[in-house]
Structure 1
Amino acid sequence: MSEDILYESQGHVRIVTINRPDKMNSLDFAANDALAAALEEFDADDDARVCVLTGAGSKAFCAGADLKTYTMNFGGRPLPEFRQKYTNGYGIGGITRNMEIWKPVIAAVNGFAISGGLEISLACDMRFCSPNAEFAIQDVKWGFHPCDGALIRLPWIVGLGNAMEMFLSGDRIDAEHAFRIGLVNRIVPQETLLEETVAYATKLATRAPLAQQLGKEVMLRSLGRTMEDGLRFESRSFRDLGNTEDLDEGTTAFREKRDARFKGR
């Protein structure tokens, strides 16, 4: 990877760390591209089943885009490269738009998740956070609105009223508030956050990977569609699973009263 983005393997789990703690783990162009590359590597690796995404240090998960870099020498407005990378490309971090990862991704939010950093966490499937975590969409304070999924994903996750409150005010909310409205799944002590998140990811990696991936795709593709369309997606996906070795292994393991050993085939 790069010094800004660390990539570690633990069994079938991959740990991706934004390693810019002196910049609150905000992303400049190079770090953004490196993070996108790390997620592409995870997605393409058949041995990798679950990803844990976190930030270095104890202050920030990610403070979003490094705006000082993006507005440099352009009268305070975003450089053209900003529009290209963040509105036409993958989006911030390579996960918020145009990159379809059907494997499970868990955010270990170890501090501030602000604006683009919040959007990265929203693009993950679950969010575990430390007690000192804070969440906000502060874009309206600076004259713009989110462009990497917060306006779409946040209402799905916390409901329209809570999403409107966060967006229209730009105020930060703490970990307890985030847990109360369903923004995070768990609050974990700072000193064990990564360990416990990886342990949970390791458990997920023992489950049937094809079933997880197809089921996740059904859930996400069904959002906003009619019940009839969603049921059709689900039924078609289930039929696809019928021809897999994993289904045979799972049913055999059930009959033999043992843990299944899935191979993703």
Structure 2
Amino acid sequence: MNRDYELIEVSLKDHIGLIELNRPKVLNALNRQMVSEVLAAMEELDRDKQIKVIVLAGKGRAFAAGADIDEMLDADAISLETLNQFTDWDRLAWIKKPIIGAIHGFALGGAFELALCCDMLFAAENAEFGFPEVNLGIMPGAGGTQRLTKLVGKAKAMEWVMSGKRITAKEALRYGVINSTFSEEVLMEETMKFAATIANQAPLAVRLIKESILKAVDYPLYEGMQYERKNFYLLFASEDQKEGMRAFKEKRRPEFKGR
């Protein structure tokens, strides 16, 4: 990595880039600097040709407790509009490589929104999620009402966001918010093991699969099918496609190069 960070830790393991939120004394409460650092690290890892997968986790007792209230206590509508702080959040959606979140303890408010920016989520069995903003007289502002509704549907999103209730990992799994649950002791081990599986796949194929699935969330079926088809054709211009099919015919493991 080309820079040091104050509020996160970034480490590289084989072809995996691990970003860990690191304000454990305040349960990793998200302030603007931390979000900016997460974005900068993700963009740097996205440019690094050696990195195939990004993993996002939190150090200490929890993934994160939510937004830092001290930053918002005296804010007003005009100052927030002028600050335009959610631009960084928007840019998280531009990351091309797969992002896997590992959630332990809890992910509340802005932390839940950050988790929902990941492409896949693994959670500890005792983890909890939630949007408690309504208890403060506000609402999610970094995509929470939108991403959650697309995942669980209108009725459940209304229930969870309006009540501010805590959502157990079991319930989050049942409604498709997360992929899998593990005991907290093996959460990171299992997350990194799955990340390694994805890192061994053809990088260009993984990149275009991510693009296509994200388009499926927003596009009507026909337009999504056309987008998928173009990406399917595009992969036949890659060396990895030739290598993958040749290796299959020769009954050996392919050696993908990402080109």
TM-score, structure 2 as length reference = 0.93
Give aligned pairs, total: 256
Match of 2:251 in 1: 257
For residue 141 of structure 2, give the secondary structure of its aligned residue in structure 1: coil
Match of 1:223 in 2: 217
- Deviation for aligned residue 1:132: 2.2
Match of 1:68 in 2: 70
Matches within 5 A, 1:82-231: 84-87=83-86, 89-91=87-89, 96-97=90-91, 99-231=93-225
- Deviation for aligned residue 1:81: 5.8
For residue 2 of structure 1, give the secondary structure of its aligned residue in structure 2: coil
Match of 1:247 in 2: 241
For residue 62 of structure 1, give the secondary structure of its aligned residue in structure 2: coil
Deviations 1:5-25 (A, max 9, x none): 111101111110001111111
Q: In the alignment, is the contact (CA less than 8 A) between 1:25 and 1:61 conserved in 2?
A: yes
Q: In the alignment, is the contact (CA less than 8 A) between 1:86 and 1:147 conserved in 2?
A: no
Code of the residue aligned with 1:90 in structure 2: it is D
Please tell me the root mean square deviation across aligned C-alpha atoms, in Å. 1.8
Deviations 1:182-228 (A, max 9, x none): 21111111111111101110011001111111111112123232221
Q: In the alignment, is the contact (CA less than 8 A) between 1:131 and 1:190 conserved in 2?
A: yes
For residues 148 and 91 of structure 2, the distance between their equivalents in structure 1, rounded to whole angstroms, comes to: 14
Identify if the C-alpha distance between structure 1 residues 83 and 137 changes in structure 2 by more than 3 Å, giving closer, same or farther. Answer: farther
Name whichever of 142-151 and 199-208 sits farther off: 142-151
% same residue = 38
Identify if the C-alpha distance between structure 1 residues 113 and 227 changes in structure 2 by more than 3 Å, giving closer, same or farther. Answer: same
- Deviation for aligned residue 1:30: 2.2
Structure 1 residue ranges without an equivalent (≥5): none
Code of the residue aligned with 1:86 in structure 2: it is Q
Match of 2:79 in 1: 80
Q: In the alignment, is the contact (CA less than 8 A) between 1:70 and 1:78 conserved in 2?
A: no
For residues 121 and 10 of structure 1, the distance between their equivalents in structure 2, rounded to whole angstroms, comes to: 21
For residue 258 of structure 1, give the secondary structure of its aligned residue in structure 2: coil
Match of 1:14 in 2: 17
Q: In the alignment, is the contact (CA less than 8 A) between 1:210 and 1:264 conserved in 2?
A: yes
- Deviation for aligned residue 1:78: 7.5
- Deviation for aligned residue 1:138: 1.2
- Deviation for aligned residue 1:85: 4.5
For residues 224 and 101 of structure 1, the distance between their equivalents in structure 2, rounded to whole angstroms, comes to: 17
Deviations 1:85-121 (A, max 9, x none): 433x112xxxx55640121111000111001100111
Q: In the alignment, is the contact (CA less than 8 A) between 2:30 and 2:110 conserved in 1?
A: no
Structure 2 residue ranges without an equivalent (≥5): none
For residues 85 and 92 of structure 2, the distance between their equivalents in structure 1, rounded to whole angstroms, comes to: 11
For residue 102 of structure 1, give the secondary structure of its aligned residue in structure 2: coil
For residues 161 and 81 of structure 1, the distance between their equivalents in structure 2, rounded to whole angstroms, comes to: 30
Deviations 1:35-81 (A, max 9, x none): 11111111111111101100001x2112222111333xx3x657936
Name whichever of 5-14 and 179-188 sits farther off: 179-188
Identify if the C-alpha distance between structure 1 residues 247 and 124 changes in structure 2 by more than 3 Å, giving closer, same or farther. Answer: same
4+ runs deviating over 3 angstroms: 76-79, 96-99
For residues 114 and 208 of structure 1, the distance between their equivalents in structure 2, rounded to whole angstroms, comes to: 34
Identify if the C-alpha distance between structure 1 residues 187 and 155 changes in structure 2 by more than 3 Å, giving closer, same or farther. Answer: same
For residues 82 and 163 of structure 2, the distance between their equivalents in structure 1, rounded to whole angstroms, comes to: 25
For residue 60 of structure 1, give the secondary structure of its aligned residue in structure 2: coil
Identify if the C-alpha distance between structure 1 residues 235 and 182 changes in structure 2 by more than 3 Å, giving closer, same or farther. Answer: same
